[in-house]
Amino acid sequence: MSTPMTAETIQTTYREAVRAAIREALLRDERVFLMGEDVGRYGGCYAVSKGLYDEFGPERVRDTPLSECGFTGAGIGAALGGLRPIVEIMTVNFSLLALDQIVNNAATIRHMSGGQFSVPVVIRMASGAGKQLAAQHSHSLEAWYAGIPGIKVVAPATLEDARGMLWTALEDPDPVIIFEHVMLYNRAGTLAADAGAVPITGAAVRRDGSDISLITYGGSLFKTLEAAKALADDGIEAEVIDLRSLRPLDDATLMASVARTHRAVVIDEGWRTGSLAAEVSARIMEQAFWDLDAPVGRVCSAEVPIPYPKHLEDAAVPQVPVIVAAAKAALHR
C-alpha cells in the first residue's frame, strides 16, 4: 500500500506493528478493548500485547477463560452494545469453537435485524504453519471464513498492513476477521514513523512483472516474492499480488494483472481442496478466460494435518522451489 511520503522511518517488527496498532486504538477510542486467552498478564501467546495490560489495566486488556465460544459471544454482545472489542483467538484452529458465534450471530445480525443492529467486532487470530506446533495449532483455514457472507476477512502480510488495518477494521460497522500468520510476527523491517490506518479492501501489487501473475496472501507473500526473485534470474518477470482482503476479493486488480501477464499461479497455504486458491482460480476462469495463455496453477498445502516434524512441516506447505516450478510450468519452461 501507499508508503507515506515522509522520510522518517523506524525499524520494527510485524509483532510490534500489531501492538502499536492495538495501542493506538486503545488510546484513540475509549470504546476499544482487547480480550482473549492470556492477552493480559502473560502478554499474549505470541507476545503481541506485551505491556498493554500494565498500561491500560484489566478493564481494557481482559484475560478470558479458555472458552472461545463464550468470549467471542461476549465480544459480539459488547459490539452490539456499542463498544469496539478486539477479540484475540490464539489460533484459527481454536476459532472453530467460536464458529457458531461468528457464523450464526456476528455475520447474520445486520441482516436478520433488517439493518437495525451492527456488530462492529474485530476478531484477530493467528494462523499458519512453520513453528512446529503440530496439527492443532498450524492450519490455514482462512478460506473457510472467506466464504461467509456478512463478514470481512483480511490478511495483513506487510508491516504497513499490520500497523494500519486494525484501525480501519474497528471503524467498519460490520465484523472483520484479521488473520496474522505466525511466521510473520518476527519479520523485521522499516516502517514510516507516522504509519497509520490503511484500507482493508483491495489487493496490492507487491512486485511488477509482465510474464506471470503470482497471487498470494499472508504468510506466503514473502516466499512468493523470493520465488519471483529466483524467476527473475531465469529471465521471468513475475508480478506478485498480495490479496490483503480475502473477503471481498479484489477481482479488478487480479483480472487486470492477468490481462497483462496471461498466466497465473495462486499460492495459498490452505489445503488445495476448496481453497481460496480454488476460488481465485475459478474467478480468473470466469472473468479472464480469454486472457489466459495457460491453465491457472495452484500451490497449496498438502492435504494432511500439518505435521509436527520440521522436515515434514516444511514439505507440507508451499515453499519457494515449488512456487518457482509452478510458475515455470505455467510458462511451459
Partner 1 sequence: MSGTVFRMPSLGSDMEAGTLIEWTHRPGERLHKGDTIAVVETQKGAIEVEVFHDAVMGRPLIEPGETVPVGTAMAELEPLEAIAEQGPGAGRAEGPAPAAGSSGAAPGAYERLGGTARGTGPAETSAQGRTPAAPGVRASPAARRLAAERGIALAELTGSGPYGAIVLGDLAAAAKPGARAPAATPAQARPAPRGGLDLAAMRQAIAAAMSRSKREIPHYYLSQDIDLTVATEWLGARNADLPPAKRLLMGVLFIKAVAITLPRFPELNGFDRDGRFEPSEAVHVGSATAIRGGGLIAPAIHDADRLDLATVMNRLRDLVSRVRSGGLRASELSDPTVTVSSLGDRGVDRLYGIIYPPQVAIVGFGTPRLGPWVVEGGIVPRTLVTATLAADHRHSDGHRGALFLAALAQRLQEPDML
Smallest gap from residue 206 Cβ to partner 1 (A): 24
16, 37, 88, 137: the catalytic one is 137
With cell 500489531, the residue in question is: 18
Smallest gap from residue 294 Cβ to partner 1 (A): 6
When the beta carbons of 20 and 288 are compared against partner 1, the nearer one is 288
Q: Which stretches of the chain are assigned E, i.e. beta strand?
A: 9-13, 32-36, 61-63, 84-89, 122-127, 152-154, 176-181, 188-192, 204-207, 212-216, 238-242, 245-247, 264-271, 297-301
When the beta carbons of 99 and 329 are compared against partner 1, the nearer one is 329
CB 184 within 8 A of CB 2: no
Smallest gap from residue 207 Cβ to partner 1 (A): 22
Contacts with partner 1 by CB under 8 A lie at: 262, 289-294, 332
Smallest gap from residue 253 Cβ to partner 1 (A): 19
111 is catalytic: no
When the beta carbons of 106 and 254 are compared against partner 1, the nearer one is 254
When the beta carbons of 31 and 260 are compared against partner 1, the nearer one is 260
What does R_g of the chain's alpha carbons equal in angstroms? Answer: 19
16, 68, 88, 239: the catalytic one is 68
Q: How far is CA 134 from the centre of its chain?
A: 20
CB 25 within 8 A of CB 178: no
137 is catalytic: yes
Instruction: Fill in the DSSP letter of residue 116.
Output: S
Peptide bond into 175 cis (omega under 30): no
- Decide: helix, strand or coil at residue 197: coil
Indicate which residues carry an active-site annotation: 68, 137
